[in-house]
Structure formats: C-alpha cells, structure tokens
Amino acid sequence: MSGHSKWANIKHRKGVNDAKKSKLFAKLVKELAIAAKQGSATPENNPRLRIAIQNARSANLPKDRIERAIKKGSSKESAAYTEVTYEGYAMYGVAVMVACMTDNLNRTVAAVRAIFNKYGGCLGRSGSLAFLFDKKGTFTLKRESVTDEETMTLAMIEAGAEAVEPEEDYFHITCPLGNFGQVQQGLEALRIAIDSASLQYVPNTSITLNESDAAKVMKLIDALEDHDDVQRAFHNMVNERPLDITDS
C-alpha cells in the first residue's frame, strides 16, 4: 500500500497495469450491477448506485460499460450475487476481513481459505474477528476539488463525520455507518466531487510490524484482492516505516 495512515485501508488505485485494471473494472461492474439490482436503476433514487457510479468514473470505467452494468443489474435475468464477509488471521496475528461478492459461495470460501493457507494465515469462524473492526463510511476527496477547507470541515462535522484528515493530495473523511448518507449529501450540497466512497472495516486496534514482516502480510492481502470474488480485504496492520507497495 502507498502509505499506512490511521485509516490504513483507504487505498488509491492509480497507475495500474492492464491486468490489474481489468480486474478492478470487473469488480466495479459487479458493484454497479448489484447496486442496481437491490434498488432503483436511477442514481437519484439509489445512494448506493450513485456512489458506485462515482467510483467507476474515478477509475475511468468507460461510460458504456457503466450503463450496460446498470441495465444488466436491473434486469430479471441478472446473476444473483451474494455479499459475504470472511474473517481470518494473516501471519503475526494480523486480523483480516475479506468482503466478497459472489454467485457461488462454495467456490469463494474454498478460494479464500486456500489463499490464507498459501500465505501462512488461516480462515476463522464467522464473527470471530468482527470485534476488532468498526464498519465505517469513508470518503476520499481530491484537494483540488475543495476550495474552502474550513467550510468543508465544518460541514462534515455537522453532517456527522468523525474525522477529516488531509493526506498529500487528498482529504479522507470517516463517519459512522449510520451517517454515511448525511455526509454524502453534505458533500453534494457543497458541490465537492467525491473521488471514492465506500463502507469499510476500520480497525479499532492495530498490530505494528517491521518492514520485512509487513511485506509478507501484504502478499496475502494482495492475493486476496486479486481474486475475482473479493471486493476488498481489510486488515489491522501498521508497519514501522511505510512500504512502497502501490495499489497496482
């Protein structure tokens, strides 16, 4: 990952190669489809779909693919995806939450278990690690889209945000799960473009590793996120010195 802050799981998918970009696009298409299937196909009436479209645009997913994914998801013939989260431990006791979207639970759990085993980890029981994480809403804004930092920060606090953190060229906003919609609406009212937004598992306790050990754990995280059925993998690791591992 390109730097580990307190909110270590916020990642920017920049400069990806063709193979990685293809996998990212596939995950975005799947999220668009399930968002359209579970709610209205009209973004104005479906907050989840609105966010999915914003994330897809930020990743430069072509407009025609976005439209096809929404159309497919809202049709009766669309695949029945199930959202499921698996929990496990990586090496050195690092806790990992794996958010998946699948049309075959048996295939997915077998694949996730195999990846944990290959990289020295183990898959845990459902609910065994959930207490180590809080589910939060997160938003990433490009600095260039914020003309008045103080106004934005005050508006986010009023909307229920817990933290507004500047980091290089971005602002990261974190909020309780229940305030996700309010924060989203607050940003839209300010006409601030959202670079990315999602619900994430934010660790409430962390494990600090040296650079070498952290790199070993990141091999597991990268392998999980490389699987087609895995949308995101969250962990509670913090390395002593930020690794130069980009989200590529």
Residue 180: how many other CB atoms lie within 10 Å: 23
pLDDT at 223: 96
pLDDT at 18: 62
Please tell me if the domain spanning 82-131+205-239 has the same topology as the one spanning 133-203: yes
Going from N- to C-terminal start, the domains of the chain cover 18-74, 82-131+205-239, 133-203
CA–CA separation, 211 vs 244, rounded Å? 10
- For residues 50-65, average pLDDT: 88
* pLDDT digits 0-9 by tens, 195-207: 888 888 999 999 9
pLDDT at 65: 92
Chain position carrying tokens 């994430």: 200
**What mean pLDDT value characterizes the chain?**
86
**DSSP summary character for residue 161:** -
- For residues 4-20, average pLDDT: 49
pLDDT at 44: 77
- For residues 135-144, average pLDDT: 93
pLDDT at 49: 87
* pLDDT digits 0-9 by tens, 155-213: 999 999 999 999 889 999 999 988 998 998 899 899 998 888 888 899 999 999 999 99
User: Quick one: tokens of 148?
Assistant: 């008045």
User: In the CATH scheme, what is the code of domain 18-74?
Assistant: 1.10.10.200
- For residues 227-239, average pLDDT: 92
Evaluate whether 208 touches 87 at the Cβ level (below 8 Å).
Answer: no
CATH architecture, domain defined by 133-203: 2-Layer Sandwich (3.30)
**pTM confidence score:** 0.78
pLDDT at 174: 94
Evaluate whether 202 touches 173 at the Cβ level (below 8 Å).
Answer: no
List residues bridging with 122 in a β-sheet: 89
Which CATH class name applies to 82-131+205-239?
A: alpha beta
DSSP string covering 172-210, please? EEEEEGGGHHHHHHHHHHTTPPPSEEEEEEEESS-EEE-
- In angstroms, the Cα distances linking 203 to 14, 35, 94, 131, 179 are 24, 26, 11, 9, 18
**Would you call 233 helix, strand, or coil by DSSP?**
strand
